[in-house]
Amino acid sequence: LTHKKIIEAELFSFGIRINQTAPNVKVVKKESGGIDYQEMCAQTKGMNSEVCRVVLKEFKISCATIILREDITVDQFIDVIEGNRAYLPVLYVFNKIDALTIEELDILDQMPNYVPISSQHEWNLEELMEEIWERCNMMRIYTKPRGQVPDYDEPVILHSEGNPTVEEFCNRIHRSLMDSFSHAWVWGKSAKHQPQRCGREHRLMDEDVVSIVKKAG
């Protein structure tokens, strides 16, 4: 855990904010008119109009509209003014869990965003892979050529945000595929029955199996 804190401190000093999202704050610099400070929600972490003006003065900003749409700290406000922060998701992977006691594992289990593994014994590697897939918002779609078994070795990888359509799946394979597209047979979580005949707008889910049927002629 000591190494974890050291790494976090190093990343923070380089402007990297781990497992955070950019504060919902709008800053519009102006040529005149002074500071227009607006709070869209209650500020309970130290921000107010006076603090805002002090911070802006440090950055030599005398005219701007500031709109706070969420409850933020002063440090978060400074991050917004700096404008060069990176907000990245981080997953902690703790190796050599075979060398830890039950008590130590219980302590680790209280931490968010972590997966314990043992690379030597190959423990918990499946959970690690699943966690990576989920956090990267990616999904696997398996192809099934007509009259053959599904290809589980080389899935088509798609971003899962909003659930991609059959058309997006086809375009991922080849842009020209939709020119001859008739329909698709889909097996898996997105199908109401197995298989389901689907059109181009059908939305897929992780580990679906798709067989594309081309137009006749």
Q: What is the pLDDT of residue 135?
A: 85
Question: How much is the pTM?
Answer: 0.69
Give 96-112 pLDDT, tens digit per residue.
Answer: 999 988 898 888 888 89
Q: Residue 203: phi, psi to the nearest 5?
A: -95, 130
- CA–CA separation, 209 vs 190, rounded Å? 10
Mean pLDDT, rounded, of the chain = 93
* Sign of the CA dihedral running 48, 54, 55, 60: positive
* CB contact at 8 A, 120 and 97: no
**Tokens encoding 66:** 């500031």
Give 121-171 pLDDT, tens digit per residue.
Answer: 999 999 999 898 888 888 999 999 989 999 999 999 998 878 899 999 999
Give 10-19 pLDDT, tens digit per residue.
Answer: 999 999 999 9
